[in-house]
Chain A
Amino acid sequence: MKEFTYTIKEPVGIHARPAGMLAKEAKTCQSTVTIVDKNGKSVDATRLMALMGMGIKCGDTVTVKIEGADEDTAAPALEKFFNEHL
């Protein structure tokens, strides 16, 4: 399993549009991508509404866990995605 932590820079947090982009990105990985918020609550990143339901705001730090066959390539790709879009 790979993981990294990330602090959200997107001004409105993970609202509909960024959540949609993240869910789309997570679906391209074979691995399971899990987002864990500061309270330890975790959701599968491919699940848009659950992701939005976490109410992650700008400045919140989340942990991203990647587990599966392509985790070695998926982890850096996701980290790049977070840096560019969230």
Chain B
Amino acid sequence: MITIQGKGVSAGVGVGPLYFYRRATAEIKRYTVEDTDAEWHRFKGAQTGAIEQLGVLAEQARKEAGDEAAMLFETHQMMAEDLDFEEAIEDRIVNQKMNAEAAVSDTSEQFAEMFASMDDAYMQARAADVKDVSQRILGILCGIVQGGIASDVPVLLCADDLAPSETIQLDKSKVLGFITAGGSGSSHTAILARTLGIPAIVGMGDALKPELEGRAAIADGSTGALVIDPDDDTRDRLLKKRDEQLRLQRLLETLKGQANVTKDGKTIRIYCNIGSPEDVHAVQVNDGGGIGLFRSEFLYLNTTDYPTEDQQFEAYKQVLSDMDGKEVIIRTLDIGADKQIGYFDLPKEDNPAMGMRALRICLTRPEIFKTQLRALFRASAFGKLGIMFPMVTSVWEVREAKRMCEEVRRELKNEGIPYSEDVQIGIMIETPAAAINSDRLAKEVDFFSIGTNDLTQYTLACDRQNNDLGRFYDPHHPAVLRLIRLVTENAHKNGIWVGICGELGADLTLTETFLAFGVDELSVTPRSVLPLRNAVRMTDTRESSERILSDLDSDYTAR
């Protein structure tokens, strides 16, 4: 028995033989052609074939992963029929008498090089697209069937890494799991595996040797362990785990469309955290009730200058209209600390987590803040919007931010631009100051959202980025939990609602605790919605609440 440890990126247990992905690589032969006209037609035939294949893949991708994924193949299609690309090949075949394979290969290099030399990381990455398209045409010219799985039984598919076009055209019924030497949790393979519910392990490194082909193995996508030739005990244990997970998966499927209600009839809203408009798809698939945290930073991060009001408006509007009337809470700019952006020209700080960040930047540089607020209020006409401010410590900050909202509303009214009058204004509670002062802050806003990651960092004086703090960084610390309880009580005394949007919200060991506190909303990654719903539905607060609250009052001396 051998165990190779990688990084589990899609949960589940897959049992079967290891199979290494066969890539359609063709040796490019070079020769001079006499009948250039016939050679040109041979290329045109392959080009047409490639365009047809890509059309089929685009439709398949649309069904499996949505329009965004389909667009990749449609762009490949347009590249395959691009006139410059075609003319460069024509020149090589007709004038230089090159054979079609050599002409495509050389032209591919030429265009890939053009993209690779551009000063924009996004465009540089397009070099891979050109090569992918050319490889497809070459494959047809050389008569190679695009990389399939030539096995009669389902397999654990191993590869160094898989390109989007490779994963999408696989016969998924033959794949028990994905195992790659490279890749990361956000790689295409990982995302696809999670969408399809297939276990996946990435980052296996050199240990994933092709000699392992055909060996019996078990892949555990939750721990990242690949066990080759497992002994009976290991096999039994992992098979049991697989059955348990399959049972849970089926259970979770049945929970779609169900209420988040405890056995004794208490309800809680389960919303999602997202980082870009594309994530809305995942919210819908996982049946999220709304969006509790839409991080607006993506607009500022992948660019070299401040995003304009119109650019922001379009992104917010898209999410609001896609969510179709469900609540969407957008957090205003939260940079500084671990998220730095060059063009903001923020002065270097010794301790940025306690420095100029988030709302502090917005109140210091009102022109940036106002652009965002205008975009937000304009978008409010297209759905149910809530706005929340991050990193609040004082009442005056909230008042100043609200004054700016008022100013923006007045401007829009004067300009005759529509906006909603029902936009809820809330704040993040992520500093001890805001938690302790939550009774006063509650009088200023419509809701609180507790950011547990920062609240833990500031309460325990433990840097989130410091991995060495180990047991000292304890998100279950009674000080943190007691602050959450205090904030919830203060919110309710003042008639406003309170949510949790940090990682703790998805921590199933705390679901009973949050229900006991009376938290109104939990906002979690889309994948956590159904497991959380399951935990809520298993809870009986008549049984658990009293015990949890009295434990918190008395029994924490040990910590």
CB of A23 closer than 8 Å to a CB of B: yes
In angstroms, how far is the closest chain A Cβ from the Cβ of B315? 8
List, in ascending order, chain A residues with CB within 8 A of B85's CB.
Answer: 49
Q: In the bound complex, do residue A15 and residue B303 qualify as a contact, i.e. CB atoms below 8 Å apart?
A: no
Q: In the bound complex, do residue B311 and residue A9 qualify as a contact, i.e. CB atoms below 8 Å apart?
A: yes
CB of A68 closer than 8 Å to a CB of B: no
Identify the closest chain B residue to A23 (Cβ): B78
CB of A77 closer than 8 Å to a CB of B: no
| Known A-B contacts A9-B311, A11-B307, A57-B304; A20 and B120 likewise in contact (beta carbons under 8 Å) | no
Identify the closest chain A residue to B303 (Cβ): A11
Q: In the bound complex, do residue A11 and residue B84 qualify as a contact, i.e. CB atoms below 8 Å apart?
A: no
Q: In the bound complex, do residue B78 and residue A47 qualify as a contact, i.e. CB atoms below 8 Å apart?
A: no
Chain A: number of interface residues, binned into ranges: 20 to 34
CB of B25 closer than 8 Å to a CB of A: no
Q: In the bound complex, do residue B311 and residue A49 qualify as a contact, i.e. CB atoms below 8 Å apart?
A: no
Interface size on B, residues (CB 8 A): 30
Bitwise interface map of A from 1 to 16 toward B, beta carbon under 8 Å scored 1, else 0 = 0000000011111011
Q: In the bound complex, do residue B305 and residue A53 qualify as a contact, i.e. CB atoms below 8 Å apart?
A: no
Complex Cα spacing A23 to B83, Å: 11
CB of B337 closer than 8 Å to a CB of A: no
List, in ascending order, chain B residues with CB within 8 A of A24's CB.
Answer: 78
Complex Cα spacing A10 to B315, Å: 11
Q: In the bound complex, do residue B311 and residue A47 qualify as a contact, i.e. CB atoms below 8 Å apart?
A: no
How many A-B pairs fall under 8 Å by CB?
A: 61
In angstroms, how far is the closest chain A Cβ from the Cβ of B469? 37
List, in ascending order, chain B residues with CB within 8 A of A15's CB.
Answer: 122-123, 126
CB of B34 closer than 8 Å to a CB of A: no
Contact of B78 among A9, A44, A48, A58 (CB under 8 A): A48
Docked complex: B36-85 residues within 8 A CB-CB of A: 71, 74-75, 78-79, 82-85
In angstroms, how far is the closest chain A Cβ from the Cβ of B92? 16
Docked complex: B103-155 residues within 8 A CB-CB of A: 111, 114-115, 118-120, 122-123, 126, 129-130
Max chain A CB contacts within 10 Å: which of B75, B114, B115, B130? B75
List, in ascending order, chain B residues with CB within 8 A of A52's CB.
Answer: 115, 123, 126
In angstroms, how far is the closest chain B Cβ from the Cβ of A45? 11
Identify the closest chain B residue to A7 (Cβ): B308
CB of A17 closer than 8 Å to a CB of B: yes
List, in ascending order, chain A residues with CB within 8 A of B299's CB.
Answer: 11
List, in ascending order, chain A residues with CB within 8 A of B111's CB.
Answer: 49
Q: In the bound complex, do residue A49 and residue B123 qualify as a contact, i.e. CB atoms below 8 Å apart?
A: no
Identify the closest chain B residue to A15 (Cβ): B122
Contact of B83 among A16, A46, A53 (CB under 8 A): A46
List, in ascending order, chain A residues with CB within 8 A of B79's CB.
Answer: 48-49
Identify the closest chain B residue to A50 (Cβ): B84
List, in ascending order, chain B residues with CB within 8 A of A47's CB.
Answer: 82-84
Complex Cα spacing A86 to B120, Å: 18
Q: In the bound complex, do residue B126 and residue A17 qualify as a contact, i.e. CB atoms below 8 Å apart?
A: no
CB of A55 closer than 8 Å to a CB of B: yes
Complex Cα spacing A10 to B354, Å: 34
In angstroms, how far is the closest chain A Cβ from the Cβ of B43? 17
List, in ascending order, chain A residues with CB within 8 A of B114's CB.
Answer: 49, 53
Q: In the bound complex, do residue B71 and residue A17 qualify as a contact, i.e. CB atoms below 8 Å apart?
A: yes
Contact of A20 among B74, B303, B304 (CB under 8 A): B74
In angstroms, how far is the closest chain A Cβ from the Cβ of B62? 15
Complex Cα spacing A59 to B308, Å: 9
Q: In the bound complex, do residue B75 and residue A17 qualify as a contact, i.e. CB atoms below 8 Å apart?
A: yes
Q: In the bound complex, do residue B84 and residue A55 qualify as a contact, i.e. CB atoms below 8 Å apart?
A: no
Complex Cα spacing A46 to B71, Å: 18
Q: In the bound complex, do residue B302 and residue A55 qualify as a contact, i.e. CB atoms below 8 Å apart?
A: no
List, in ascending order, chain A residues with CB within 8 A of B130's CB.
Answer: 49
Complex Cα spacing A55 to B302, Å: 15
Contact of B126 among A9, A16, A58 (CB under 8 A): A16
List, in ascending order, chain A residues with CB within 8 A of B310's CB.
Answer: 9
| Known A-B contacts A20-B74, A49-B82; A58 and B303 likewise in contact (beta carbons under 8 Å) | yes
Identify the closest chain B residue to A17 (Cβ): B71
List, in ascending order, chain A residues with CB within 8 A of B119's CB.
Answer: 55
Q: In the bound complex, do residue B302 and residue A11 qualify as a contact, i.e. CB atoms below 8 Å apart?
A: yes
In angstroms, how far is the closest chain B Cβ from the Cβ of A42? 14
| Known A-B contacts A15-B123, A20-B74; A53 and B304 likewise in contact (beta carbons under 8 Å) | no
Identify the closest chain A residue to B129 (Cβ): A16
- 6 pairs of A and B residues whose beta carbons are closest in the complex: A48-B82, A16-B75, A20-B78, A49-B82, A20-B75, A48-B78
With A11-B299, A50-B84 given, name 5 new contacts (CB 8 A). Answer: A10-B311, A12-B302, A44-B83, A49-B130, A55-B123
Q: Provide a sorted-by-A list of 27 A–B residue pairs whose CB atoms are within 8 angstroms.
A: A9-B308, A10-B311, A11-B315, A12-B302, A12-B303, A16-B75, A17-B71, A17-B75, A20-B71, A20-B78, A23-B78, A23-B82, A47-B83, A48-B78, A48-B79, A49-B79, A49-B85, A49-B130, A50-B84, A53-B114, A53-B115, A55-B118, A55-B120, A58-B303, A58-B305, A58-B311, A59-B305
